[in-house]
Amino acid sequence: MGAPAPHASSGPTLCCDRCGCPPGDPLQQILMSAVWLVDGPDGPTTACYCRACAPAGPITDLTCQRCGDGPLLVGDLAAAPDGTVPEPARTWLTAAGWHLDEPICPGCRPTSCQIQEGLW
C-alpha cells in the first residue's frame, strides 16, 4: 500500500468507478463528488459512485470538524459502533494527512510555518 493518490475521478472527467457513467444532472454530479474509501486489492483506495452503484453499508461519514468535508468509509473500513476506525483506514487516512483525533482533514491542518508565525 503506497501513499494515497489524489482522487482520480475528480474534475471534468467525473465518472462512476463501477459503471463508468458520467453524472446525468447537477444533483448526480454533487452525489458523485463524494469520495468513498473502499477496500481495494492492495489496501484502501478512493472511488466515486453514481446513485445506482453506491456501495451498501456499513458506511461511516468521516467529517472534518473545520470544513465539514471528508470521505465515506465503507464496509470493513467503516467505523465500529463505538466510533473506532479500523487500522487499515486509520493508516490510509493518516498517510493522506488526516489528524484523526478531532478529526481534521489535510486541507484544514496548519502548516509548521503557520504555527511558527502564530497564525494558528
pLDDT band at 111 (very low <50, low <70, confident <90, very high): low
- pLDDT averaged over every residue in the chain: 85
Contacts of 27 (CB under 8 A, 6+ apart): none
Rounded to an integer, what distance in angstroms lies between the CA atom of residue 40 and that of residue 30? 24
Rounded to an integer, what distance in angstroms lies between the CA atom of residue 63 and that of residue 70? 5
Is the CB of residue 92 less than 8 Å from the CB of residue 44?
Answer: yes
- What pLDDT, on the 0 to 100 scale, is given for residue 117? 53
Distances (CA, A) of 6 to 9, 30, 85: 9, 18, 21
Q: Which of 3-17, 35-49, 102-116 has the lowest mean pLDDT?
A: 3-17
Rounded to an integer, what distance in angstroms lies between the CA atom of residue 27 and that of residue 120? 36
pLDDT digits (tens, 9 = 90+) for 39-61: 999 999 999 999 999 999 899 99
CA–centroid distance for 41 within its chain: 17
Q: Give the pLDDT mean for 65-91.
A: 95
pLDDT band at 110 (very low <50, low <70, confident <90, very high): confident
Percent of the chain with pLDDT over 70: 81
Q: Give the pLDDT mean for 60-75.
A: 95
CA–centroid distance for 38 within its chain: 9
- What pLDDT, on the 0 to 100 scale, is given for residue 93? 97
Give residue for cell 446525468: 24
